[in-house]
Amino acid sequence: MARIKLFLTLVGSLIGFAAVGILLNAALTPRPVHMVSAAHPLASAAGLEMLEQGGSAVDAAIAVQLVLTLVEPQSSGIGGGAFIVYWNEDTRRVETWDGRETAPASVTPRHFLKSDGSPMSFFEAVVGGHAVGVPGVVAMLGDAHKEHGRLPWADLFAPAIRLAEGGFEVTPRLNKLINWSPALPRMPVVSEYFFQPGEKDDDGNPVPLDVGMVLVNPEYARTLRTLAEDGPDSFYNGAIADKILESVKNAPVNPGGMTAEDLAAYKPVKREPVCAPYRTYTLCGAPPPTSGSTTVIQIMGLLESFYMQNAEPQSADAIHLISEASRLAYADRNLYLADPDFVDVPLDGMVDRSYLRLRSRLIHPDKTSSSNPLEAGRPAGSSASLSPSEPEPAHSTSHFVVRDDWGNVVSMTTSIEAPFGSHVMAGGFLLNNQLTDFSFRPVIDGKPVANRPEAGKRPRSSMSPMIVLDEDGEFYAAIGSPGGSRIIAFVAQSLIGILDWDMTVQEAINMPRHVHRNTTLELEENTFIATLADGLRARGHEVEVKEITSGLHGLRVVGDELEGGADPRREGVVLD
Ligand code: GLU
């Protein structure tokens, strides 16, 4: 008995030593603190795979984008454009890259006008080659990798090649959007890919791929292998470029005029971030040609005088204030924001604290300002001789965030514009219809529109990738969303949740959505805020209750930990 006891004691001590050893080891080895949050589990997994191989946030972001192109083809891809906002932990600075599409040299201000001078309808313009801008994603990722990559460029392609060759399952959202698109069945190549081969329903229509069916894309795998081996330039010159040009030129509807020179001339732009204080924080984002981050900053700046931290979260009071601030900010956005390489954008004036404080006096806490839509203000540096751009509808795009073990962060919003972009495929990926983000009418009421189409110009975007710094100027949070021009409202509302209402990133993302783009106040249906509609109408708002699909992905630092969030309205996950 004594022997058994001694034996047990010895074993117990050994286990104890081992446990202490493991704990000590864990305490001495820095814990990896990386995280990815993206709109599809396979995309998040690809990012994580890179991070676990010692990759940087930029390496992971590239792997995420290459997989999203395949598994969430309706939203973003290498045939589109994107903006990165990047926290550089070494320099403690925010950097941004503009990978927005450019208009081919053949584009004129009349690009979306019909022969009688009237504008095309959005749906007339979307499908085919006419609205395809020169894609910027690959060149931008190539530049970012040159500066901040750790793994070899070719290694970043492994997860996407594996999935393109081995297959992936069609998700409910992809299936829903295949069903939704009226044009998809009519477009060759793309319809062969997204419909069941040889199947017809009772009315003779092709049958969309079902949820769970496995889709392979050997052509995309070939494109990826070329890009992996020959580098980002091979997208713009050579076999991939030829395929893009051929698909655009031979599109069965709206053939487009993109040329080899247009592709070869594409350049991503590294720009200074747009930053402004909010309470003790600093908000930073991508500057124009996206209007997104600037307008988010304006909304927050307009609300600063109202002490949102004291407002009841998601109350009618809070929704009213946010809506009024949004109306003022969207008014400025619609008038002034466009490609800064083509028009003078009064950017500093628009985010200036005293301008916003003065303008916030137009907000009455109990009732709407009478005129709807509200008119733009006059920030320093603005010109009064412009007409507001028209609203542009959209329901696509993807946002993801990555943090690496060194503390660098990527906040990237990426888009092919409409679901399935132009519905034109080349090399196994979809091409964007981003030129429809230009104002279709170049001149309104005799005044030019800042966001009119022009050769070489980048269409105004609403993408709002954001990074928030804390009071010491250190990285605190990163967030962004898809959703067309609603993106701005989604991101501002979530930032208020995190910064003012002490919500976790996930709680802020989950909040019922409300959007005011200086037209009507939209409330997300089937949520408790829909019950506030009558109260908000009593304050003078025109209210619509409707389906609103944000797709926010974000993360923040809490002490030594990372906390992430993924929008339950989409299919993404947080992985760490
Ligand atoms: N094309 C839009 C933009 O750049 C985004 C489209 C969307 O989010 O649906 O603002």
| Confidence at residue 123, expressed as pLDDT on a 0 to 100 scale | 86
For residue 534, what is the enclosing H or E element? helix 533-538
| Confidence at residue 20, expressed as pLDDT on a 0 to 100 scale | 53
Ligand 1 mean position to 396 CA, how many Å? 6
Q: Across residues 378-390, what is the average pLDDT?
A: 79
Cα–Cα distance for residue pair 400/466, rounded to 1 Å: 11
User: Would residue 397 show up in a list of annotated catalytic residues for this protein?
Assistant: yes
Ligand 1 nearest-atom number relative to CA 462: 10
Over residues 467-493, the pLDDT tens digits come to 999 999 999 999 999 999 999 999 999
Q: For residue 396, what pLDDT band results from cuts at 50, 70 and 90?
A: confident
Q: Across residues 308-323, what is the average pLDDT?
A: 98
What is the length of the chain?
Answer: 576
Q: Looking at the predicted structure, is the pLDDT value of residue 5 above 90?
A: no
Q: Across residues 559-572, what is the average pLDDT?
A: 96
Q: Looking at the predicted structure, is the pLDDT value of residue 226 above 70?
A: yes
- Are 479 and 87 within 8 A, CB to CB? no
- Are 359 and 377 within 8 A, CB to CB? yes
- Name the pairing type of β-strands 543-546 and 521-524: parallel
Q: Is residue 461 within 6 Å of ligand 1 at its C-beta?
A: yes
| Confidence at residue 3, expressed as pLDDT on a 0 to 100 scale | 53
Q: Across residues 265-272, what is the average pLDDT?
A: 98
Q: Across residues 203-225, what is the average pLDDT?
A: 96
Over residues 426-460, the pLDDT tens digits come to 999 999 999 999 999 999 999 999 999 999 999 99
Q: Across residues 381-409, what is the average pLDDT?
A: 82
Q: For residue 1, what pLDDT band results from cuts at 50, 70 and 90?
A: very low
| Confidence at residue 196, expressed as pLDDT on a 0 to 100 scale | 96
DSSP summary character for residue 275: E
Over residues 83-136, the pLDDT tens digits come to 999 999 999 999 999 999 999 999 999 999 999 999 999 889 999 999 999 999
| Confidence at residue 188, expressed as pLDDT on a 0 to 100 scale | 87
Ligand 1 mean position to 485 CA, how many Å? 7
Over residues 40-71, the pLDDT tens digits come to 999 999 999 999 999 999 999 999 999 999 99
Q: Is residue 324 within 6 Å of ligand 1 at its C-beta?
A: no
| Confidence at residue 354, expressed as pLDDT on a 0 to 100 scale | 96
Report the first-to-last Cα separation within the chain, whole angstroms. 48
Q: Looking at the predicted structure, is the pLDDT value of residue 246 above 90?
A: yes
| Confidence at residue 373, expressed as pLDDT on a 0 to 100 scale | 85
Residue type, 279: R
Q: Across residues 130-152, what is the average pLDDT?
A: 98
- Are 285 and 112 within 8 A, CB to CB? no
| Confidence at residue 533, expressed as pLDDT on a 0 to 100 scale | 98
Choosing from 223, 290, 397, 436, the catalytic residue is 397
Q: For residue 16, what pLDDT band results from cuts at 50, 70 and 90?
A: low
Q: Is residue 417 within 6 Å of ligand 1 at its C-beta?
A: yes
Q: Is residue 433 within 6 Å of ligand 1 at its C-beta?
A: no
Cα–Cα distance for residue pair 259/283, rounded to 1 Å: 39
Per-position b or e across 250-276, b if 16+ CB within 10 A of its CB: ebebbebbbbeebbeebebbebebbbb
Over residues 274-304, the pLDDT tens digits come to 999 999 999 999 999 999 999 999 999 999 9
| Confidence at residue 26, expressed as pLDDT on a 0 to 100 scale | 47
